Homo-oligomer: A and B are copies of this chain.
Amino acid sequence: MNAKILIIDDEPDVIDIVAMNLKSSGFVPLTADNGQSGLTKARSELPALIVLDLMLPQISGLEVCKALKKESATAQIPIIMLTAKSEEVDRVVGLELGADDYVSKPFSPRELVLRIKSVLRRSKGPTSAAERIKIGNLLLDHARHEVCVNDEILPLTATEFKLLAILMERRGRVQSRDRLLNDVWGYESVIDTRTVDTHIRRLREKLGVTASYIETIRGVGYRISEAV
């Protein structure tokens, strides 16, 4: 791996957490705590990818993004935007400006790393990202934000969708409740692990017959069976 990743964020805790996780995933994290120094570092280091907070003092993330995309040296560098929930409106703007993905706070560091890997993968070869996952007669489409069972669309809520998506992406592997809380609800969620049970239940309810895909591993967590 060994690729340089530049993190531009003004919150030291965010930088710390992200940098730590990147490092342990084999990346080389670079950091900047404001837009100006971020731009400078991007130009001098030419990182493989930039994680950019939308909300920055002085120069906003959008402007940084715009500037980077204007200069030929940095235009090709993929950018992942970090946005607070309320800023979700800006998502479209960000994407139109050239951001390659966005992750909303609070986010799980693990998920961010996965996104980074995904974007890097995509930016290299032809698009082959797993935008659609199919398991048996269960089909999940990230782009459309839809889940189908036998070509019939299931009306899942946002949380249910994300929960199912994570289980499907890691099919076969058991996910502990803690892990799910971390990855579905975000890294600073302070909710009870029992809540996961409830959402699993609601998922199963909507899945109907297909509910059997979700296995309970007593004393450990949940997973979606590997076999079709």
Contact = CB atoms under 8 A, between A and B. Distances in A.
A201 interface: no
Given A12-B95, A158-B219, A182-B122, A174 B144 contact: yes
Interface stretch (A42-50, A51-59, A109-117, A204-212): A109-117
A118 B192 CA distance: 10
Contact of A157 (B12, B122, B218): B218
Contact of A118 (B121, B173, B190, B217): B190
B24 A126 contact: yes
A109 B193 CA distance: 17
A96 interface: yes
A179 B159 CA distance: 20
A188 interface: yes
A118 B189 contact: yes
A188 B219 contact: no
A12 B173 contact: no
Given A12-B96, A182-B121, A174 B157 contact: no
B12 A219 contact: no
Nearest to A21: B126
Contacts of A178: 117, 121
B12 A111 contact: no
B172 A143 contact: yes
Interface in A124-170: 125-126, 143-145, 157-159
Nearest to A162: B219
A144 B121 CA distance: 25
Interface in A86-107: 92, 95-96
Nearest to A109: B122
Contacts of A219: 157-159
Contacts of A121: 178-179, 181-182
Given A13-B95, A25-B126, 14 more contacts: A109-B122, A111-B190, A114-B192, A115-B190, A121-B178, A121-B182, A122-B182, A143-B172, A144-B173, A145-B217, A145-B220, A145-B223, A157-B218, A158-B219
